[in-house]
């Protein structure tokens, strides 16, 4: 079994006006882990974000919410992972995914950025595509001209419920990610939702 996740980076935009937006589901995921395991997320200037340490029997893992705005997420991701010498293969980036139905969850390693500005900046800053991604489906508004307004708005009540279930289910299986049992995580989580 390969080495597990040592850093979970949830993507989002800082500030109250963005906190309920679809684009912030990565923040929601990190917040849920922090809530479940009583991890205090504190502002850390040298990492340009809020950080905390998750310590479970399955392993230890840094949590990070970049406070740089989405399209500069790489600055924060790079600062923390270089400081702690964490390889891309041990990093999980959690983000919203337009190409999946609301509430669907997919874990994958590597690949492109698919037009996601947060992923684009992280790939550039790390100089690698080999990190893991936890893709939380938010559905697509139907036309690319509508994407910006869509991701920067609140989900419907139904979609919100689906996203909360997706986050809960993924958080339920966090041990598998910390252990490096990625296939087990996929088997448990991909079968749920769409």
Catalogue the active-site residues: 23
Residue whose entry in the numeric block shows the structure tokens 């993924």: 170
Would you call 16 helix, strand, or coil by DSSP? coil
Contact 137, 101 (CB under 8 A): yes
CB-based contacts of 114, cutoff 8 Å, min separation 6? 97, 98, 99
Say which DSSP state 98 is in.
T
90 is in an annotated binding site: no
37 is in an annotated binding site: no
Sheet of strand 42-44, all strands in order from the earlier edge strand to the far edge? 42-44, 49-56, 59-66, 7-10, 91-97, 132-137, 105-109
18 is in an annotated binding site: yes
71 is in an annotated binding site: yes
Contact 47, 81 (CB under 8 A): no
Annotated binding site: 18, 69, 71, 117
Annotated binding site for tRNA: 18, 69, 71, 117
């Amino acid at each position: 079994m390969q080495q597990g996740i040592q850093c979970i980076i949830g993507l989002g935009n800082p500030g109250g006006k963005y906190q309920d937006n679809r684009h912030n589901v990565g923040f929601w995921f990190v917040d849920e882990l922090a809530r479940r395991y009583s991890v205090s997320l504190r502002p850390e200037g040298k990492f340009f974000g809020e950080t905390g340490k998750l310590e479970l029997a399955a392993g230890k893992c840094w949590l990070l919410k970049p406070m740089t705005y989405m399209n500069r997420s790489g600055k924060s991701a790079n600062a923390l992972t270089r400081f702690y010498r964490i390889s891309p293969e041990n990093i999980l980036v959690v983000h919203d995914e337009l190409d999946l139905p609301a509430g669907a969850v997919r874990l994958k390693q590597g690949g492109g950025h698919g037009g996601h500005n947060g992923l684009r900046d992280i790939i550039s800053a790390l100089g690698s595509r080999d990190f893991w991604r936890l893709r939380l489906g938010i559905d697509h508004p139907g036309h690319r001209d509508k994407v910006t307004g869509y991701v920067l708005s609140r989900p419907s009540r139904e979609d919100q419920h689906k996203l909360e279930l997706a986050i809960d289910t993924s958080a339920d299986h966090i041990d598998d990610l910390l252990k490096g049992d990625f296939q087990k995580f996929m088997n448990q989580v991909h079968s749920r939702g769409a």
